[in-house]
Amino acid sequence: MKNDLERATKFTHMGRPPAGLGTSVSHPVTRASTLLFDKAEDLYRNDVRGYGRHGAAVHDALADLFTELEGGIGTMLYSSGLAALTGPILSIVKPGDHILLTDSTYGPTRHFCVTFLKRMGVKTTFYDPHIGAGIDTLIQDNTVLILLESPGSLTFEVQDIPAIAKAAKAKNVTTLIDNTWSAGLTLSPLQMGIDISIHAATKYFGGHSDVMYGAAIFANTARFKRAQMAAKQLGNASSPDDAYQILRGFRTVLPRFRQQEATSLALAEWLMTRDEVHQVLHPAVSDHPDHDLWARDFTGGGCIFSVVLKPLSDADVLRFIDGLNLFGIGYSYGGFESLAIHCDPQLSRNCAEPLAGPLVRFACGLEAMIDLKSDIEQSLAQVF
């Protein structure tokens, strides 16, 4: 396919079977564990799939789309977003190694590093997401990996990605970023020097809150091959039915993302005017402390943001969440339904000052913005 086509065109036409007489418009799903060979000597070839755990044509098509999305050299597919993080990490670290992890990271990533990796003998140091080039001072002789997330989970700090990538490359340290917030549509970290970009494809690419999936896109062939080997050794596999659903989601991700992005920005700007709100944490709004950095590196926003409410009791925060009619109460984002969660019970930080009030995260779905606005307004009125 021509390289100068727009993304909307590529996402529509890539990864489809060649047209023929009555060809299906999408890849068929092949469900198989055992794969048969007509010659015994072919069973041990390295250039063909030997077992169903290694995927099918639908997996290849999906991996090609993620590689195109990020401009990488190859993509590994995983059964969930968390697996897409832990799999590449395990392909890099060994006992005695040290890693640097942004303090604003996704909670399960944090938990994995301070429990599983700790048991392996891998030490984790949390760093301030605003450290930028100063991360050079934290790199030790045994540091092998720096994990980024921009914007940060729950509190939406924006990191200086190029500065961190440059410092890491100078000391031959691998960099990995959780790029789920942008869907790879508004941030291109591999082009900024990052080595591995991770997506919880469960979210935007699933789009309907009914499938879990993950993808890791690599900028370097050697790291990609290490991840492939680790995935085989760990028994990584993903369902062809799930791969099919994520591939289907790719076809419509752009228009869905654009609507959800616009809704989140409109709601964030409106909430900035509300007396009940102490602070809006959305990097695309002008008063966000990292807005200039966001504007430099991003071409757009995402569907989630948080607000710090004026001080309330825990009971009143829960009453506010319960009073919403159009926002589901649940984790994740990127699906068709808007969601809201009270963040304080899961908020864990080593390098940040306490917030001035309770933290609530909104994930915008495909509902009309005016209806979501009215829903928030009526619930705020119940508790303030």
Question: Locate tokens 């710090």: which residue?
Answer: 308
Residue 164: per-residue pLDDT:
98
Give the count of alpha carbons within 13 A of 103, CB side only.
15
Token couple for 2? 């021509």
The pLDDT, as a whole number, for residue 345 is: 87
Distances (CA, A) of 119 to 55, 106, 115, 174, 349: 31, 20, 6, 21, 21
User: Tokens representing 356?
Assistant: 């001035």
Domain 254-383 belongs to what topology?
Aspartate Aminotransferase, domain 1 (3.90.1150)
Residue 240 CA to residue 30 CA, distance in Å, equals 7
| Residue 53 among the catalytic residues | yes
Cβ contacts of 368 within 8 Å, gap of 6 or more: none
Q: The tokens of 133 are what? A: 């080039």
Active-site annotation holder among 128, 178, 195, 290 = 178
DSSP state, residue 314: H
Q: Which residue has the tokens 């779905």?
A: 365
Q: Per-residue pLDDT tens, the chain, 384 aa: give them.
A: 556 678 889 888 888 888 887 888 888 898 999 999 999 999 999 888 889 899 999 999 999 999 999 999 999 999 999 999 999 999 999 999 999 999 999 999 999 999 999 999 999 999 999 999 999 999 999 999 999 999 999 999 999 999 999 999 999 999 999 999 999 999 999 999 999 999 999 999 999 999 999 999 999 999 999 999 999 999 999 999 999 999 999 999 999 999 999 999 999 999 999 999 999 999 999 999 999 999 999 999 999 999 999 999 999 999 999 999 999 999 999 999 999 999 998 888 988 888 999 999 999 999 999 999 999 999 999 999
Q: Which two tokens stand for residue 89?
A: 């990490």
Please check whether the two domains, 7-249 and 254-383, share a CATH topology. Answer: no
Find out whether 60 and 54 touch, Cβ atoms under 8 Å.
no
| Omega cis (within 30) before 189 | no
Contact indicator for 222, 74 with CB cutoff of 8 Å: no
Q: Which of 10, 16, 49, 53 is catalytic?
A: 53
Q: What confidence score (pLDDT) does residue 170 get?
A: 98
3 state SS of 236: coil
For residue 2, what pLDDT is reported? 57
Angle value at C-alpha 61, between 56 and 63, nearest 5 degrees: 95
The reply to whether CATH 3.30.360.10 applies to domain 7-249 is no
Q: Is 171 a catalytic site residue?
A: no
Q: Which position among 106, 204, 213, 244 bears the catalytic label?
A: 106
| Structural domain boundaries in the chain | 7-249, 254-383
CB neighbours of residue 266 within 10 Å: 15
pLDDT of amino acid 19: 83
At 3 the pLDDT is: 66
DSSP 212: -
- Could you tell me which of 26, 78, 42 has the C-alpha nearest to residue 200? 78
User: CA 332, CA 312: separation in Å to the nearest integer?
Assistant: 25
Residue 243: Cβ-neighbour burial (10 angstroms; 0-12, 13-18, 19+):
buried
Rounded to whole angstroms, how far apart are CA atoms 382 and 344? 20
Residue tagged active-site, from 128, 195, 203, 297: 203
Is 85 in a helix, a strand, or coil?
A: helix
